[in-house]
Amino acid sequence: MTALTMPARPKRDAGLRPVPWRRMAWVTWRQHRAALGGVGAFLGAFAVYLWLTGLQMHHAEAAYCHPAGSLGCGINFTGRYGETAIIISIALQAVPALIGAFIGAPVLARELETGTFRYAWTQGIGRLRWTVGKLVPLAVAVTAAAGAFTVLFAWYNQPWAAAGYVTPFSARVFDLLGVAFAAWTLAAFAIGVLAGMLIRRAVPAIAATLAVYAGLAFAAGLWLREHYITPLVTHSTNLPGSAWIMSYWYTKGGRLVSRSAISQELQGDHHASVTHVGPNTVQTVLDPVRYLTQHGYTNWTSYQPASRFWPFQWIEGGWLLALSVLLVATTVWLVRRRAA
């Protein structure tokens, strides 16, 4: 009888205890500390930049933007910081995708690709403990970091909201505020780990994560988000600047009028023109809304008021959380079914 053919000792094997969760968490930290450190350094440097730039913007908005829209505000606030704010918001939009691709995708894909998972499963860890011990600490870490960063960005964005240059529903800032940024980060991570489990190779899994996340983000922003809550409809033309205008149309005599018909009407005799007197010139221009109103047309607008910002945030955060849980559960199920 050799060591390879010796039967197992039931009593002795029954006394073996699985590796504690804290040790699995320590292993996860040791394996992924470089990636987590890189994300922490990147977000830390970004946070310092936002803080320094934000201080300057707060001072500029307080000094030059009262009233908002003044010449001094346009020169010393929007003209000086507007382009930077746009670049920052675009860069932050990409952060969840990068976290999902370079932290989420390689978590399982790298070990599946190299075969080291077989060693881990024979060391008293087990498939379930190995998977959960990897995914949960990393998911909590990246989500918490994104949530903390949201607080800083909300403070950074305050001068633009106060000056009226950005609304809460703006596509540039909506998913960077509230709970949306953390939820998108968690969803990107979950997409990455599932892609890694399905593809089992790190580089293709990274590419797949970026593609899937981009498609989901564009679908949510261009189509899904506007259907969260039924919009309000009004024929008033005096809507607050913070409202999200969904669509508008005209009716006449209770019947819908096409836009081509409206264009033809406006090309006719403009009796509703308004005269603007400048310093050296007198110019007559068309006031289309007034003209159409006087000719029996009614302007209708569907919109979302700014008071619905948080309901929209919780709806988006809720379905992203549900999607993330589903993707992680699918990943765990696939790990448990995988043959060693």
Structural tokens at position 243: 């409202």
* Residue with the larger pLDDT of the pair 31 and 152: 152
Q: What is the pLDDT of residue 73?
A: 84
Give per-residue pLDDT as tens, 172-194: 899 999 999 999 999 999 999 99
Task: Express as a percent the part of the chain with pLDDT over 90.
Answer: 42
In order, the DSSP letters of 66-113 are: SSTT-HHHIIIIIHHHHHHHHHHHHHHHTHHHHHIIIIIHHHHHHHHH
- Residue 12 has what pLDDT? 44
Please determine, for residue 18, whether its predicted confidence score (pLDDT) is greater than 70: no
| Per-position DSSP letters for 245-256, written without gaps between them | EEEEEEEETTEE
Greatest mean pLDDT among 67-81, 139-153, 246-260 lies in: 139-153
Burial readout 288-324 (b: 16 or more C-beta within 10 A, e: otherwise): eeebbbeeebebebbbbeeebbeebbebbbeebbebb
Q: What is the mean pLDDT of residues 214-220?
A: 95
Which of 189, 159, 147, 161 has the alpha carbon at shortest distance from 35?
189
Instruction: Look at 57-71, 102-116, 186-200, 267-281 and tell me which has the smallest mean pLDDT.
Output: 267-281
pLDDT band at 116 (very low <50, low <70, confident <90, very high): confident
User: What is the C-alpha to C-alpha distance for residues 272 and 262, in angstroms, rounded to an integer?
Assistant: 15
Q: Is the pTM of this model over 0.85?
A: no
| pLDDT per position as a tens digit, 143-169 | 999 999 999 999 999 998 888 788 889
Q: What's the whole-number mean pLDDT along residues 235-258?
A: 82
Distance (Å, whole) CA 230 – CA 164: 25
> In the prediction, which pLDDT does 286 show?
60
Gyration radius (Cα) of the chain, Å:
28
Residue 262 and residue 256: Cα distance in Å, rounded?
11
Q: How confident is the model at residue 248 (pLDDT cuts 50, 70, 90)?
A: confident
Percent of the chain with pLDDT over 70: 81
- CB neighbour list of residue 137: distance below 8 Å, 6 or more residues apart: 25, 28, 29
Lowest mean pLDDT among 59-73, 84-98, 276-290: 276-290
pLDDT bucket at 197, cuts 50 / 70 / 90? very high
Separation between Cα atoms, residue 219 and residue 244, nearest integer Å? 18
d(CA 29, CA 3): 35
- Contact at 8 Å (CB) between 166 and 205? no
**Runs of H (alpha helix) within 163-179:** none
What stretch of H or E contains 274? strand 274-277
Arithmetic mean of pLDDT over the chain: 82
